[in-house]
Structure 1
């Protein structure tokens, strides 16, 4: 996916929508105990310098492909509750603390990737997201994603264009949990 030209406030809106999709995936998706355990481990150790080797095994950065399964344990409901309370996607523009490393900010994204939360992301083509895009970005999207010809949108103001695009309810997902930080940075 390509980089997205969006305001800092828009990044926060996207992060909130992705957090919501993560919560839906945890409750309604086919999340295995192994995925829950991995997610809890990421939540507990993500961003910790001392545990970087374990994170590399989970994410596959060590070359081993990542963990695939853990023993089945009857803690799924507790794991889901803990993850819902702790796992959030943080917009890159809000990652301002010098005391927190980048991996600590990315825990929600890694967990979303593990549990397949991308399947639960609703379209970002809604007014609350589109209001953070410039008119130029809207014009580009109108033709490439929405399929609206240039001549139908060139004379429209940004607010009118946003309403038109949101009304069509096109499934637009310009980012994923795996690429969120890279797409918005």
Structure 2
């Protein structure tokens, strides 16, 4: 039996090796940091090996580097092909949270990459998280806005974890954040029929 495994799903063979975070002059770093562990903005990223397809899929856990690629390039989170786009914007499938605030999902940060229409239909049927209610959303504006990551604060010698959450690129906390995923802020949204 073939199981559909979304592109951004982490596999059991992609476990992260142990690491040690240290305080630097303006934020955090790895004790043994190497070139390429920060992006062009200087943000430190979680070390995650890329062994797509090795082991078993760990549904509900995201592979950071593949999520970043899909978010940066507006690729479908399931098949990694181009996300569906129209004159109304790029397509997302989201858990239905319209009761959260008037105008939802405008101004909402999302870590879920966009999706193509065939994969949206499959996801609506197969994804347990979407069975409780979902909507298709076209976002006319969807700028990259920051990261989802673990924040640290300085403490004598060793930084201490404080919380995990969304941190915008312009936040002073970004240098004290170990980033795991990118997020985009959706705006100019149109809610479509539920698949």
Fold shared by both chains (TM-score > 0.5): no
Greater share of helix? 1
Query: Using CA pairs below 8 Å that are at least 6 residues apart, which structure has the higher relative contact order?
Result: 1
Greater share of strand? 2
